[in-house]
Chains A and B, each alone.
Chain A
Amino acid sequence: MAKVESSILPGGIISRPGSTSDYKTGTWRVKKPVVDLDRCTGCLLCWIYCPEPAIQKRNDGKIEFDYDYCKGCGICSVECPSKAIKMVEE
C-alpha cells in the first residue's frame, strides 16, 4: 500500500511526457489501412490528417503505418489524393 502511495506525485503530476505510448491503441482497430507504395507519392497529407499520429515517413519519402497505435479510423484512406490507401479486414 505504502509503495503505491509513494509512486503518486503530489498534485497528480505526471512525470513522463508522452507516456500514453505505453498503451497500444492498435487493438481498437476493426479494419487496417494498407498502403500501395507504387501509388504513394509521399505527399504526407495522410500524416497531417492522422489523429494519433500513427503514420511515419520512410527513408525513401513514402509512408508506413504504426499498427501498434493505428485505431483504424480510415481518415487517411479518404484523404489520400492518389487513392493509395485501402482499408482491409484484419
Chain B
Amino acid sequence: MLVGEVKSIKELYGLDLIAPGHRACAGCGALVGVRQILMASKRPLIVVNATSCLEVTSTPYPQTMWKVPWVHLLFENAATAASGIEAALKVLSRKYGRQEHYIIAFGGDGGTFDIGIQALSGALERGHRFLYVCYDNEAYMNTGIQRSGATPLGAATTTSPVGTKIVGKTQQKKDLLEIVVAHRIPYAATASPSHWKDLVNKVRKAQSYDGPSFIHLIAPCTRGWYFDTSEAIKVARLAVETRYWPLYEVENGRYRITHPVPNPKPLEEFLKVQRRLSHLLLPENAEVLERLKAYVNERWERLQRLSACFA
C-alpha cells in the first residue's frame, strides 16, 4: 500500500485491483481512470457502484473484475448505500475494535448529475466518510447515448441529434462540482485519466479527510463521442489543454487550480477530434460554438479569480 504523495509511476506497479477480461469497450476512458483510482486508493477498500457502464461491463454475472468487496445498487442510491456501509462499519469498529475502512462510490454522470443527485446531496450533508467518484462520459452511454445533465452544449446524442431544428443539445452542462462544493465538504476536485499523477494524488488527499469527498473524472467514450479507440487519453488531454476540463480542487473551501494552462490550445482542437461535437466547426453553427466557448472561458476565469483569492 502507498503512503504519502505518489511521485513515480513505479510506485503504483502491482497495485491493480481489477482483473482483465472485463467487457468494457476497447479503449474505454472510464476504465483507465477507475484503474488508476483503485491503484491509488488506501486499503482495505469497499467499492459501491451505481448502475452504469462500469457496473454492467465489470460484472457479467457470474464473473467480476473486482478484487475488492463490491456492491451494485440502482442508479439513484450509490451514495445512500455508501453511507449505510460507513455507518455499519462505524458500529462494528466501536463494538469489536477499530479497523479503518475506505469506501469509494462510483457513479456515471447520469447516475450522479440526474438520477442520484438527491442521494448524493444527502450523503454529503450527513458527513459520511467516503469518496464519491463521478466518472463523466457526458451522456447515458450505457443505454444508447442519450443526453444527460452533463452533456455539453451542442453535443449530438440520440435524443439531441443535429438537424434543421436543433444543433445538438440546446442547454449548457450542469456545473456539478459547484453543487457539491456548496455542501461545504472537506475535499472536492476534478481530474482526468490523462494526468495520472494529478489524479492519484487527489485520491490520496480525498481519503485523508474524515468526511465526504468528491472527484469528478472526465471519461472519454469512444462509442458515444465518436473517436478512434486509440484516442481516449489524447482526447482527455486535449480537454485539459483547451481549458474545457479545468483541473482544480476545493480543499476546505479553498480553490486551487492544480494544473494551470497558461497557453491554452483553441477549443476547436478538442471539438474536431470527436464526431459528436465536430459539427460546431461548420460556419452555420458558429453561434453555438461561441456560446460554448463563452461558457468554457467564463468558468476558467471564475476559477482563476477564486484560486487567486486563496493563493
Contact = CB atoms under 8 A, between A and B. Distances in A.
Contact of A78 (B13, B31, B234): B234
Interface in A35-63: 43-45, 47-54, 57
B230 A48 contact: no
The interface centre, meaning the residue of B24, B31, B60, B62 with most chain A CB atoms within 10 A of its CB, is B62
A28 B26 contact: yes
B6 to A, nearest CB: 11
Interface string B43-62: 00000000000000011111
Contacts of B12: 48
The interface centre, meaning the residue of B13, B66, B193, B230 with most chain A CB atoms within 10 A of its CB, is B230
Nearest to B33: A51
Secondary structure at the A interface, as helix, strand, loop or mixed, is loop
Interface residues of B, number: 43
Interface in B1-38: 9-10, 12-13, 16, 18-29, 31-32, 35-36
A10 interface: no
Nearest to A50: B32
Interface string A63-85: 00010110111110111000000
Nearest to A68: B20
A66 B68 CA distance: 23
B62 A52 contact: no
B219 to A, nearest CB: 11
A25 B68 CA distance: 21
A25 B23 contact: yes
A85 B21 CA distance: 22
A75 B232 contact: yes
B268 interface: no
A5 interface: no
Q: Give the interface size class of chain A.
A: 35 or more
A24 B21 contact: yes
Interface in A1-32: 8, 12, 14, 16-25, 28-29
Nearest to B19: A18
Given A25-B20, A66-B20, A69-B21, A75 B27 contact: yes
Contact of B64 (A20, A48, A57): A20
A20 B231 contact: no
Contacts of B60: 20, 23
A44 B18 CA distance: 18
B233 interface: yes
B230 A17 contact: no
Interface in B101-149: none
A51 B32 contact: yes
Interface in B171-199: 193-194, 196
Nearest to A70: B20
Q: Please name the 4 residue pairs, one residue from A and one from B, whose CB atoms are nearest each other, closest first.
A: A74-B230, A73-B27, A18-B19, A20-B21
Interface of B: 9-10, 12-13, 16, 18-29, 31-32, 35-36, 58-68, 193-194, 196, 222, 228-234
24 contacts: A16-B64, A17-B66, A18-B18, A18-B67, A19-B19, A19-B63, A20-B20, A21-B19, A22-B21, A23-B23, A25-B23, A48-B9, A51-B26, A51-B232, A53-B16, A53-B20, A57-B13, A69-B21, A71-B25, A73-B232, A74-B27, A74-B230, A75-B233, A78-B233
Given A22-B63, A73-B28, 7 more contacts: A18-B19, A18-B67, A25-B20, A43-B9, A44-B9, A66-B20, A68-B20
